Every structure is written in C-alpha cells, then in structure tokens.
Structure 1
Amino acid sequence: MPRWRDLPEELDPQVREFASQLRRLVDRSRLSVSAVADRTGYSRSSWERYLNGRLLPPQGAVEALAEVTGANARHLHTMWELAERAWSRAEMRHDHTLEAIQVAEARAALGEFGPAPAVGGNGRGGGAPPKPAKKAAKKAAAQSPAPSPYPMTAPAAGGPQRPKRRNYAGIAAVAGAAALIILGSVVAVTQLGGDDKKTADDPKKSPSASEKKLPNGVKCAGDDCTGKDPEEMACGGMEFANTPDSVAVAGATVEVRYSKSCDAAWARISGATPGDTIRITVQPAGEKAVTRSAAVTSGGTTYTKMVAAADSADAKACVDRTKSGAGKACTGE
C-alpha cells in the first residue's frame, strides 16, 4: 500500500510540485508524519493536509521542516513563495466562480415572478417589454468560469411551456400559520429562562466550537478562534475560507480572509517587504473593535492571528508600508 494518497487533480502545477517536494523530504528523512508533527510543533492533522495538497503550509511550518530534514531553507522558501502565489490565484478564481453562480441563481429566482410591466416615456406603458430574467440568468451562468451546480431544465418539445400558476393566497396562509407557531415557541422559551434569552437577543455573538458543529479537521469557531493561527486551526484554504475584500499598495496586496466555518477573520499580505505590518480589525455595529497585527520578517507573505467575526462585512484589513516608502491603505476605503 503506497504511503501517500494521490494529489488532487485540480491542483496548480506549482502547488503540486511543492507538495511533492515536501513528501520527498519527509521520505528522505524516514520520519513518520507523527514524528514530523512532534519535531516541527505543527499538529499531525495539519501536516496530513499539507502533504496531501489540501492546504498550503504556513511559512513557519516550511522553515521548521527544512530544519528537521536538513533541507536547504532558502531553496525551499523559494518554492513555497511560487506555490503561495499560485494558491492565491486559484482562490481568487474560486471566489469569482461562486459569485457568478450566486448571481445567476438570484436572477433565475427573481425571474420566477415574471418580467415587470414595461414603462414608456409617458409613464403609462407602451415601451418594449424587458427581457425575462431567466434568459439573463442563463446568459450569466454560461459566461461564468464554471457551470452552475443547478442547471436549468430545457422546455419540452412542442413549444415553450407556460409558467406554473402559484397559489399565493395559500402560500401566505401557510406562512402566517408557521409564523404564529414560531412566535409562540419564542415566547415560551423567553418565559422559561433568563440566560437563554440573553443569548437569543445577541444576534452578533459568534458561536463557540462547543455550540457549533464543525467540519472535520476544523478546531475552533467564533470566540474560541480569537488569537489563534488560522492554518493550525484548519480554518484557511480554499475549502473553508475566501477573500471578501482586498486592497493593493505598491505591488503588495492585503486581504481580508474569512472563514464561515470558523466564524473568524484574519488579514494576509503577499508581495510585501520586511518591515511592513498588517492588521485585522473586527467591529460589529455598536460594539468595541478587536484587532490582531503581524509584521513581515522575511519573504513576502504573512498573516495575522484570527478574530471572531459573525459577518465578513464587520472585518477590515490594513497595511502599513511607510518603512519602505509605500504608504498605508485599508480595505473598504
């Protein structure tokens, strides 16, 4: 039985080569994955993800592996930088694909209610009717980087089908009855206990790992993640994190990285120089801001520790490159 699983076929060639190089170093050292974890200070589950191409290791893990295996740290770091850039490009393509799919689905859903009546120049109609939203959704889905997981069904032969009539009165009655049941349940819970009411009345509170069912490998959620490394907690990577916002400053890019699985955000910078600093700030409306910072010490990439965030819109990433004469910038400004 082979020691390693096949690497994912969709991996970028640079990432695939880097993961293969890590495997060769481990094989050459004749160490088990558990031994590598013990000697580098990174968990066994993290190294399994790194070596199987499911997650790009942080710079610290790469440096620790080079020391443990006796590899040339400078050459290994060069390979890591190339893989990191390729990984970031793949994440951006993934984010854009999801956005295109969501837009297509939203347009298709709005199209179920039919096109709005046309309005002419006099406000009384007579203008050309707008194109149905479903056609726009089909066009958007066809132009997206990847096909929608919810393909539209073509009409049966014999001509276009008429849209199904919906019993909106019946739907409203059912919705009203459901609302009354839910309201009664909320009143009952409110009357039974005080502590439960406080939690229910706080919509911005991030659930902890004990309150939220986490995906396999993920080790924290919400407040439990604040101050912890996103890679070590398995909150990063394309599987669990995305980039909702970013800003570029003189060749360097700082990103807000957000994981809904972990309900946490952090800042990451690439293309930086030693001395640059980054900061992640999370501030829900009416609450005190929480921040974490990190400085670039070597290479061009680093990231901060995490801060609990129930909504990615509450997170802002900033970079300070004044030491290199490039200035400052923040996302969302």
Structure 2
Amino acid sequence: MSQSWKPLPDDLSEPARRLAEELRAVKDAHRISLAELGKRTYLSKASWERWLNGKRLITPQALAGLIAAVECDAALLISLLRQAEAEREEGATEPAADLVPKPEPEPVPVPVPLPGLPVETPALPVEQLPSVEVPLVEAPLVPAAELPTGIPMARVAAAIAAAAAVLVLVAGLWLRGPQGGGSAAAAIPPTATASEPAPLCQGVGCAGKDPQAMGCETDDHTLLKGNVGQVVLYMHYSPRCRAAWAGITDGSPGDSATISTNTGWQETALIHWGYDNYSVMVDASPGDTTLRVCGHQKGGDGCTGVVTDPAARAAAAPLPVPPTVATTPTSRAG
C-alpha cells in the first residue's frame, strides 16, 4: 500500500537520500505495510520506519533480507548503500543523520559488509557501528504464574543444538549458491570476526552496563522472541561478553521487559517514550546460567520460556522461523 511520505531530513547525503527514496518506491510498488515488511524480513517495523524515513542508514543485512523477500533492483540498492556508507566514513568527524545518537537505540548485532566493500573499516564509536539484526528463534510465551521453577533442560538444549546444526548446514549451502549466480543476499560475505574490536567487559564485569556502550551488541544473538498482544519481547545474549539483556518493541510508554537469572539478578527495559527500549546487562557466564524474560504491559503479563546454557544456544545459531501466535497473557486486575 502506498502512502504519503514525510520529507527526508535535509542533512542526508545524496546517496543516502536516493537509497531512502528507492526503498520507499519498493514498498509502494509491492503495496505492503511496515508490519508486513517486518514479517517478511524478520525485522521490526520500528527499524523499517527509521530506514525508510532517513533516520538511520539501512544495514547491509536488512537490505539483503529485503532483496530476498521482494522483487527489486538489487544492484541499484547495493550500489547506493556502498556509496552512502563511503560518504558516511569520509564525513565521520561531522554530524550525519544516521549517526546522531538516539535516546532509544535499536538493539542490533554484527556488521556485515556488502560485496566489494573492504572488511576492515575505520574504527568508529560503538554507537556508530553499522549493524544488523540476528535471525530469531520464535518461542510462544506462557503465563508467568505457570512457569516451572526446576525443569531439567539438558536434553532439550541438546536436541535444539542438534537440529539447529542441520539447519545451519543447509543455510550455508543456500547462501553459497551456484558459482557465478545466486541472489544478492547470497553474495554477501560473512563477517570477519578478526576485525571486530574486543568487548569492554565480560561476565560479571558487564552486569548493570549498557550492551551498546560496552561493544556487546556486535555479536548479539536473540535467543528467544515472543509476543504479549502486539508487544514483542526479546532475550539477547553476547557470546563474547558472556552477558544477556532484555529488549522490547512495538510497545508504549509504561510497558517493560525484565530479564532474570537463576541467581536472582534482574534488569528491566522500561519504555519511557516511543515504542522500544532495551535493558542493561546481567552476568550470564556461569555454566549453569538460566535466563528468562517477562513482560509487563497494559494488556497483561507474560514470560518467554527458560533458556539454559545460553552459550550453547547461541553457538547453534538457528535459522529464523515464521512468527507464531503466543498464548493469551495473564490479565492484570484493573
């Protein structure tokens, strides 16, 4: 569905402006809403709103997801993104529309270069790093009151890891594609982890600290995701930092998501304004760590399942699956 677009920011570079206009044209041509665009690419509609309105420069992974999801001029879009990223790096000392710090930054992980771009790029502050969103593991929410407190999860974790390993192998073959062919998404090379800066904290040293400021978002794995009505809860984990945090999107002021561990540590992401936020981190380094995220919204409360051994879950790196409908959240009195 086409729409009346807001004017793009005046301080956008010419390639970034053209890229935003082309992305808008793709959305209008396919007559799809932001919500539908988010479902097809496994990214939030909040992120697409920022990219389409020039508030942030679209990430390489998000662009690859769009190219794989809808028919569009992949070569043109990739070329414009390369040009926009090059101009952003050249003008890194000057304010740019997509580098202005936001009070509510979106939680995003590993930067992935497009074909032809060098792997090693000039070092930027963590909050300015280009980023992508990690494929999600969907899990239905269960009412908080019904969550078990002592379920042995070793067999479940082992089964998940085994199934995920098969999916990763299939994904690798698909992404590699035929020689000389394949989609634009398949042409994007994997990130060279050797060029990533070291995180500023690990384990208990990360407790209570911002994952973006500490460099922990560069390898963010979303271990679980679920809905309470329209509100989306996330369980994030960084293998390099051995720490975890909660995220919440599509909410409203007053909504929150709290991550807790089996040691009793809790941190909360509260939406003060807008529609999303993320919490500071909890220590997830002990081998017996278990994690859970619970949401508190006007429409009711709900929790994700419990994750045991988050390091093994992240190493499995499962592919995204279509969203599932969560169970009805527990209604709150009044």
State the TM-score, normalizing by the size of structure 2: 0.42
Tell me: higher relative CO, structure 1 or 2? Use CA pairs within 8 A at least 6 residues apart: 2
Structure with a larger share of its residues in helix: 1
